[in-house]
């Protein structure tokens, strides 16, 4: 089975996504979505951005590699009575089921960056976008000091080395790599812009309880804990992550957690 599917079907990302809804809505509100706009959300999870886009009247296709998240997204859309959104399984590096130039806006927030074969991902993003349309990606940045970049960095230092030829998802947070991929896919560099933005995680518990959610439900962290345990380093990993979550918390209300995390917002005019 596709290792990405295995990774993201592990645990339950909906538990983390529940802490990201406010930022998802704010990001979508900034996209100038109008009724009837055809939107693809790639690596949609359970709809943190896809559902607000549908609520603004867009016709949304939400594609994700994880069957459990597709099912969770369908259930959320049904509960909200939304008939203008479809969730389906698919792989961002091979969207053969989608026609060329099908969407006005392709959104992928911390989604397609995790797919294997990033050059194919860039090709597919450009192929399915209509001329005159846009691609908007949210990508974590390597070396950034905030939460998710640090979680992924720390997790990787406790995990076995990746297989030969592996390209780190974090390269999607490096401007030159992103520009190279999209120019190779046929978009002039002048049509690619890169800016820093912030997502804030809000959790109704302590930073240590929030880390507990990641440890139990976030695929990449589940793997890191398993690898650390196999090396007898689980306590060390837990202490390092515990310190990170405490240090990043900016909430002034006791027993609650708010953690802002910086990401690269990439906009490509196709
Ligand atoms: C960090 S979550 C983000 C989910 C959602 N965009 C959000 O903001 O809540 C990453 C998502 O990317 C999906 N994903 C990973 N690799 C993928 C691939 N190759 N194709 C499509 N989705 C993928 C995962 O299943 C997961 O739902």
Q: Which helix (H) or strand (E) holds 41?
A: strand 38-42
17 CB within 6 A, ligand 1: yes
113 CB within 6 A, ligand 1: no
pLDDT in tens, the chain (270 residues): 788 899 899 989 999 999 999 999 999 999 999 999 999 999 999 999 999 999 999 999 999 999 999 999 999 999 999 999 999 999 999 999 999 999 999 999 999 999 999 999 999 999 999 999 999 999 999 999 999 999 999 999 998 888 888 899 999 999 999 999 999 999 999 999 999 999 999 999 999 999 999 999 999 999 999 999 999 999 999 999 999 999 999 999 999 999 999 999 999 999
Tokens of 69: 């998240």
Question: What is the Cα–Cα distance from 51 to 115, expressed in whole angstroms?
Answer: 22
| Ligand 1 atom nearest to CA at 116 | 19
CA distances from 73 to 21, 76, 101, 216 (A): 13, 5, 25, 20
217 CB within 6 A, ligand 1: no
Interstrand relation of 257-269 and 129-140 (parallel, antiparallel or unpaired): antiparallel
Nearest Cα residue to atom 1 of ligand 1: 110
Angle between helices 234-248 and 219-230 (to 10 degrees): 140
Tokens of 151: 């979680």
Nearest Cα residue to atom 16 of ligand 1: 115
Please tell me the distance between residue 169's alpha carbon and the centre of ligand 1 in angstroms. 12
The reported pLDDT for the residue numbered 3 is 84
Q: Which helix (H) or strand (E) holds 267?
A: strand 257-269
Task: With beta carbons less than 8 A apart as the criterion, state whether 93 and 117 touch.
Answer: yes
| Closest-CA residue to 122 (of 142, 101, 93) | 93
248 CB neighbour count, 10 Å cutoff: 21
Task: With beta carbons less than 8 A apart as the criterion, state whether 45 and 64 touch.
Answer: yes
Radius of gyration from C-alpha coordinates of the chain: 18
pTM: 0.96
Beta bridge partners of 61: 40, 86
Q: What are phi and psi of 245, to 5 degrees?
A: -60, -40
Please tell me the distance between residue 116's alpha carbon and the centre of ligand 1 in angstroms. 12
Tokens of 33: 């979505």
111 CB within 6 A, ligand 1: yes
The reported pLDDT for the residue numbered 252 is 96
* Token pair 């030159």: residue: 176
The pick from 1, 8, 223 for probing ligand 1's pocket by mutation, whose C-beta has the most ligand atoms within 8 angstroms, reads 8
9 CB neighbour count, 10 Å cutoff: 17
241 CB within 6 A, ligand 1: no
66 CB within 6 A, ligand 1: yes
85 CB neighbour count, 10 Å cutoff: 25
Please tell me the distance between residue 5's alpha carbon and the centre of ligand 1 in angstroms. 9
Q: Which helix (H) or strand (E) holds 248?
A: helix 234-248
């Amino acid at each position: 089975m596709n290792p990405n599917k295995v990774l993201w079907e592990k645990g339950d990302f909906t538990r983390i996504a529940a802490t990201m809804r406010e930022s998802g809505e704010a990001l979508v509100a900034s996209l100038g979505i109008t009724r009837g706009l055809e939107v693809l959300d790639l690596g949609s999870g359970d709809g943190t951005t896809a559902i607000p886009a549908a609520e603004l009247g867009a016709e949304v296709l939400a594609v994700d590699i994880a069957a459990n998240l597709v099912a969770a997204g369908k259930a959320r859309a049904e509960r909200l009575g939304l008939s203008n959104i479809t969730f389906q399984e698919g792989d961002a590096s091979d969207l053969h089921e989608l026609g060329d130039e099908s969407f006005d806006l392709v959104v992928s927030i911390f989604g397609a960056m995790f797919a294997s074969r990033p050059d194919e991902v860039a090709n597919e993003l450009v192929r399915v976008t209509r001329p005159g349309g846009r691609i908007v990606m949210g990508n974590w940045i390597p070396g950034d000091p905030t939460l998710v970049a640090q979680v992924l960095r720390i997790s990787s230092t406790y995990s076995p080395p990746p297989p030969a030829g592996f390209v780190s998802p974090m390269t999607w947070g490096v401007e030159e790599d992103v520009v190279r991929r999209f120019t190779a896919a046929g978009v002039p560099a002048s049509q690619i812009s890169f800016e820093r933005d912030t997502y804030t995680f809000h959790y109704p518990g302590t930073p240590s309880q929030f880390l507990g959610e990641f440890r139990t439900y976030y695929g990449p962290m589940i793997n890191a804990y398993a690898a650390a345990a196999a090396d007898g380093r689980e306590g060390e990993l837990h202490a390092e992550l515990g310190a990170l979550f405490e240090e990043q918390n900016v909430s002034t209300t006791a027993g609650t957690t708010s953690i802002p995390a910086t990401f690269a917002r990439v906009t490509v005019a196709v």
